[in-house]
Amino acid sequence: MPAEYARLVDDAATFPPGDAPLPRAVAGHRAHRRAAYADLVGPFVVSDVRLPDLVRVLEDADGEAAHPLAVTVVVTGGAGGLAPAAAWATRSPRVDLVGLEVALRDLDDLPGSARRVVAAVTDLTADVPVFVEPPVMQAGGHLWLAALDEVAAADLRLKLRTGGLTADLFPAAVDLARCVDAALDRELPFKCTAGLHRAVRHRDPATGFGHHGFLNVLLATRAALDGDDVVAALEEGRREAVVAAVQEAGSDRLLSARRWFTSFGCCEVEDPLRELQELGLVSHR
C-alpha cells in the first residue's frame, strides 16, 4: 500500500447506506485488518448509541478479542454527549478509543455551539483527537468561519460532510473548495464523511447525485497548499486526468497533503480499494 493512502479509509460499515449489523461489521473490520491492504484501513467508526452493543459484541467474540479494537465514536447528542461517550469507550479493555466526532447543533449560533464543544473537550479524561462537523454549504458565511476559528484555537479538528442520503448533503465543488481553503488557512486537519466511495468525481445514475471523488479531495488539498485552482481539482471527472495528476504530484507531495486531509469514512472499505486497483495506483494482491 503506497504511503499516501495509509489509513485513508475509516471503516463506517454500520452507517448508511451500508447499515451492516454490528457483529458482521466487526468481523469484517477484523478481516480488513488481516488483509494485504490492511494499511489502507483506519479505525472502526461507531455511533455513541451503539457503544454498549459494540462492547457486548467484542466481549462475546473469541480469539482476536484479546486485541482491542481501534474505535472512533460519532457523538449524536452534541457537546454534552462527548464525556459520556468517552467514558463508555474507555471503560472496556476491548475498545481502544482513538477519536471522537461531534456535529455543531445550534445552527443559529455556530460560534457559540463550537465554544460549547471546546468547553466539553476540556473536561475529557481521554486524550484523543476530536473532529467537529459544521453544517453543509455555509463555507462563505461569517458565522461558519467564526466557528472554525473556535475549533482551530482549541487545536481540534474538522469533519466535512461530502454526501449523504439526500441531495442537500452534497456540497457543490465551490463550497467544498471554500471549506478546504478555510481549513488550511487555520491549519485545521480535516476528515470527510459520506459520499466518497469512488476515487473520481461522478454522478450516481440511480440517484442523480453528483459525488465528489476521494482522489479529487486529495488533489484539491494539494492544490490549496500550492495556491492552485481547488475548484478545478474537485470538478475533474476524467479518470485518466485524475490519475495523471496523482502521478505528477508524486508520493511525497501527496503525503504532505495527507497531513491535512487525514481520512474519510466509508461504509464499504473494499469500494475505494477496488477503485485504486482499477486505476493502477495500488497493486492487486
Q: What's the pLDDT score for residue 141?
A: 82
Q: Which three cell numbers stand for residue 102?
A: 461531534
Question: What pLDDT was estimated at residue 140?
Answer: 54
Per-residue pLDDT of the chain (285 residues; tens, 9 = 90+): 999 999 999 999 999 988 999 999 999 999 999 999 999 999 999 999 999 999 999 988 765 556 899 999 999 999 999 999 999 999 999 999 999 999 999 989 999 999 999 999 999 988 999 999 999 765 458 899 999 999 999 999 999 999 998 988 999 999 999 999 999 999 999 999 999 989 999 999 988 999 999 999 999 999 999 999 999 999 999 999 999 999 999 999 999 999 999 999 999 999 999 999 999 999 876
The range of the structural domain enclosing residue 219 comes to 3-278
CATH code for the domain of 80: 3.20.20.70
Q: What is the pLDDT of residue 256?
A: 98
pLDDT of res. 284: 72
Evaluate whether residue 283 is within a structural domain: no
For residue 34, count other CB atoms closer than 10 A to its CB.
9
Residue 30 placed within a domain: yes
Is 214 domain-assigned?
yes
Q: What pLDDT does residue 267 have? A: 94
160 and 133 Cβ atoms separated by less than 8 Å: yes
How many domains does the structure of the chain reveal? 1
Q: Is residue 284 part of a domain?
A: no
Please indicate, yes or no, if residue 285 is contained in any of the structural domains.
Answer: no
CB distance 212 to 234 below 8 Å: yes
Nearest to 265 by CA among 99, 143, 54, 151: 99
State the cell numbers at 253: 507531495
Please give the full DSSP string across 145-186, using - where no structure is assigned: HHHHHHHHHTT-EEEEE---SSGGGS--HHHHHHHHHHHHHT
Q: Tell me the CA distances in angstroms from 29 to 5, 48, 88, one per residue in order.
A: 17, 18, 21
Phi/psi for 268 (5° steps) reads: -140, 95
CB distance 131 to 159 below 8 Å = yes
- Residue 135: name the closest of 165, 113, 112, 103 by CA: 103
Do the domain assignments include residue 208?
yes
Any domain includes 240 = yes
